[in-house]
A and B are shown apart, each in its own frame.
Chain A
Amino acid sequence: MNRRTVLKSSAALLAAPFLHIRPVRADKGELVVVSWGGDYDTAIRDLAVPAFQKNTGYTVKMDAPPENAKVKAMVQSGNVGWDVILTDIPAVLTLTKDTLLEPLDYGAIDKAKLDKIPKELQQPYAIGQRIYSFNIVYNTNALPKPKHPRDWAEVWDQKHFPGGRTFNFQGGIEPQLEVALLADGVPVDKLYPLDIERAWKMFDKLRPLVSKWYTSHAQAIQLIGADEASVGCTIGPRGITAKHAGAPIDVDYNQGKLASDNWCLVKGVRDKKIAMEFINQALDPKVQAGIAQRVPYGPSNGGAFEFLSASEAADLNTSPDNIKEQFWQNVQWWSTPGADGKTPREAQAERFAKWMVAG
């Protein structure tokens, strides 16, 4: 799944014949953890790895990104170079459908940690590590706070909130049907099952407002920061990162859609016990708090907030104040196959492409 890294992966595709022949085969005493690169990986390396290394004597080698296609190629060729991957629920579902993952061993995770992690984030093949969210991200010069759009209906309202819009297309993310329905006034507790036709009518209204359908979240942030779009729907934590870096960007968490990135074991993981111990360390509240201080994704372990200041918490999507303004994406709805054997995720992604190409 390359939700955030279409670009990276496409660059890799271009270079694939030359660079990607090397399998990342771990040496003995080494665990290969695959995440999304960048500061998050560095934070994992600095904060979660030391305790793991002390307990097991293993070192950690990090790779990125954990694309579905690579996992499939590895498992099929019997040359599995990855042990633990961090990926989102749609990817988890696609991977489990093809039996490319190994079930987790919950006995290997400290009970105290599990108690603080929401039950929905504890799945047989995946356990939540960090929370991302699709939020209202806006340019603070074009739409200065507090005169910025505060809900999705206002994002659809270009008359009162001028400027272009930016929404996702491609990159394995489904169309933002929930967001479209909220913009049309559907109450959040009545969202699922989604009224698909109603949502697409709202998309027809959105189309002329969009200055660019972004292909990666990095692009979305660039577009909003440069005021190519005054407001968009993209990953809130990325907006916060940009804000901290001094960009004229801010995030309104109201009506945001929450979802999780999860630890999973690749089928054929060499040493499950060792891999589980790594996951156990990464779920530590203090570790997660430290990571969130550097990369502002919500920690999955609620205990992390005991180690965070009020101002740090204010910028995180899972802080007690922010989380109650948002809703969890119903992954079950998106992944239950319909009569034709296609999941809504597949069917709607296809419809999205058709709608876009016909535009």
Chain B
Amino acid sequence: MAAIPGRRFPRPWRSGEGLLVLPALLFYLAVYLYPLSRIAAWSLFERGFTLKFYRELLDEPMYFRALGNTLEISFLSTALCLLLGYPLAYLMATTSARARSALMVLVLIPFWTSILVRTFAWMVILGNNGMVNRTLMALGLTGAPVKLLFNMLGVQIGMVHVLLPFMVFPLFAVMSGIDPNILRVARSLGAAPRRAFRHVFLPLSLPGIAAGCVLVFLLAVGFYVTPALLGGPGQITLATMIEMQINTFLNWGFAASLGIVLLLVVGGIFAAFSTLLGIGRLTGEA
């Protein structure tokens, strides 16, 4: 990757500066790491140490199917968000200030309504008698309603709608920090626009891609409402199974083991990715 002008090498921390992260660290300890350790403990103890929850889980293929569904849904929505979000962020970063703020508002609008309302709205729009199908049939494009709901398509439409801003903003933040002069230099050295984009702009935007994908993927893994409402039996997620154990059966030990497995799998995926791609480099470190 080309050296980025204007970027200084990180200097070592001065003593005392470390204190700046202390509040955040304590906050995390209290509200994240401590509860997480409790959940890990639930999954391993029931009147003494036990592996029975994990054994029960490993014995039942249903949970692997649900985990597979969860990962499939999450990868797909991350890819779709990137596909839709990249050009949008590019436009936002390169257009006039007025157009940019208009686009910004449009990206933010989905945040103004609750996820539940949005999901129900999709049911109305995408249903057999919904707006989309009625228009398609009125135009004679299809004789019978197209199945847009209660399958992967419905889930992806609902999830990408919710998750897109989480892709666009990190991308936009990184892209707007890219000095347009570099692209001009590339052009003046004879690179066609497409080549300048591929060899200069795209590599410089990689940290944004990495941040956006990480954010969207992590949020997608925890999604509960949208797959449950807009999906079919093929989109039953692990979150659904966890909810059932927690709320219906008060079987918190088992629910905890499901949660820990999900955490480990997602952690494993990240470890694999960062070794493969060098996430440190992608996030802009040196």
Interface of A with B (CB < 8 Å)? Answer: 1-2, 6-11, 13-14, 17, 67-69, 72, 94, 98, 170, 172, 211-213, 215, 219, 222-223, 226-228, 346, 349, 353-354, 356-359
On chain A, the residues within 8 Å of B123 by CB distance are 219, 222-223, 226, 228
Query: Which one of B171-179, B203-211, B226-234, B261-269 is at the interface?
Result: B226-234
A346 to B56, CA, bound (A): 15
On chain B, the residues within 8 Å of A356 by CB distance are 233, 236
On chain B, the residues within 8 Å of A359 by CB distance are 233-234
Interface contact A353-B129, CB-CB below 8 Å: no
A276 to B248, CA, bound (A): 27
Query: Which one of B11-19, B79-87, B114-122, B190-198 is at the interface?
Result: B114-122
Among B240-256, those with CB < 8 Å from A are: 240-241, 243-244, 246-250, 252
A222 to B124, CA, bound (A): 9
On chain B, the residues within 8 Å of A357 by CB distance are 62, 65-66, 69, 233, 236
A175 to B218, CA, bound (A): 32
Interface contact A94-B224, CB-CB below 8 Å: no
Interface contact A7-B250, CB-CB below 8 Å: no
Task: Tell whether A228 pairs with B236 under 8 Å between CB atoms, given A11-B115, A358-B65.
Answer: no
Interface contact A358-B62, CB-CB below 8 Å: yes
With CB as the reference atom, state the residue of chain B lying closest to A11. B116
A358 to B64, CA, bound (A): 11
Interface contact A228-B128, CB-CB below 8 Å: yes
On chain A, the residues within 8 Å of B244 by CB distance are 170, 172, 349, 353
Task: Tell whether A10 pairs with B224 under 8 Å between CB atoms, given A170-B244, A353-B241, A358-B65.
Answer: yes
Interface contact B62-A353, CB-CB below 8 Å: yes
Interface contact B225-A14, CB-CB below 8 Å: yes
A1 to B250, CA, bound (A): 10
Task: Tell whether A172 pairs with B247 under 8 Å between CB atoms, given A14-B224, A358-B62.
Answer: yes
Contact indicator per residue, chain B 153-188, by CB within 8 Å of chain A (1) or not (0): 000000000000000000000000000000000000
Interface contact A212-B129, CB-CB below 8 Å: no
Interface contact A211-B65, CB-CB below 8 Å: no
On chain B, the residues within 8 Å of A170 by CB distance are 228, 240, 243-244
| Contact partner, A346, options B66, B120, B222, B249, Cβ 8 Å | B249
On chain A, the residues within 8 Å of B120 by CB distance are 219, 222
Min C-beta distance of A357 to chain B, whole Å: 5
With CB as the reference atom, state the residue of chain B lying closest to A214. B229
Contact indicator per residue, chain B 52-94, by CB within 8 Å of chain A (1) or not (0): 0000000010100110010000000000000000000000000
**Can you pick out 22 interface pairs between chain A and chain B where the beta carbons lie within 8 Å of each other?**
A6-B228, A7-B116, A7-B229, A11-B114, A11-B116, A11-B225, A13-B243, A67-B247, A69-B252, A170-B240, A212-B150, A213-B233, A215-B228, A219-B123, A219-B229, A226-B130, A349-B244, A353-B244, A354-B60, A354-B62, A358-B65, A359-B233
Tell me if B1 counts as interface (CB < 8 A to partner A): no
With CB as the reference atom, state the residue of chain A lying closest to B233. A359
Lowest 9 A-B CB distances belong to which pairs?
A: A172-B248, A359-B233, A215-B228, A10-B224, A354-B62, A212-B150, A357-B65, A10-B225, A357-B62
A7 to B128, CA, bound (A): 22
Min C-beta distance of B244 to chain A, whole Å: 7
Min C-beta distance of A2 to chain B, whole Å: 6
With CB as the reference atom, state the residue of chain B lying closest to A71. B250
Min C-beta distance of A10 to chain B, whole Å: 5
- Number of contacting residues on B, CB 8 A? 37
On chain B, the residues within 8 Å of A226 by CB distance are 123-124, 127-130
Interface contact B250-A72, CB-CB below 8 Å: yes
Min C-beta distance of A93 to chain B, whole Å: 11
A sample of 13 more A-B contacts (CB under 8 A), given A69-B250, A172-B248, A356-B236, is A13-B243, A14-B225, A68-B247, A69-B247, A170-B228, A170-B244, A222-B123, A226-B123, A226-B128, A226-B129, A228-B127, A228-B149, A353-B62
A1 to B247, CA, bound (A): 6
Tell me if B31 counts as interface (CB < 8 A to partner A): yes
On chain A, the residues within 8 Å of B128 by CB distance are 226-228
Task: Tell whether A7 pairs with B236 under 8 Å between CB atoms, given A67-B247, A228-B127.
Answer: no
On chain B, the residues within 8 Å of A223 by CB distance are 123
Min C-beta distance of A167 to chain B, whole Å: 12
On chain B, the residues within 8 Å of A353 by CB distance are 62, 236, 241, 244
A17 to B62, CA, bound (A): 29
Interface contact B246-A69, CB-CB below 8 Å: yes
With CB as the reference atom, state the residue of chain A lying closest to B226. A10
Interface contact A17-B31, CB-CB below 8 Å: yes
On chain A, the residues within 8 Å of B65 by CB distance are 357-358
A213 to B236, CA, bound (A): 11
A261 to B61, CA, bound (A): 35
A17 to B32, CA, bound (A): 10
On chain B, the residues within 8 Å of A172 by CB distance are 244, 247-248
On chain A, the residues within 8 Å of B129 by CB distance are 226-228
On chain A, the residues within 8 Å of B228 by CB distance are 6, 10, 170, 215
With CB as the reference atom, state the residue of chain B lying closest to A67. B247
With CB as the reference atom, state the residue of chain A lying closest to B128. A228
On chain B, the residues within 8 Å of A358 by CB distance are 62, 65
Min C-beta distance of B121 to chain A, whole Å: 11
On chain B, the residues within 8 Å of A228 by CB distance are 123, 127-129, 149
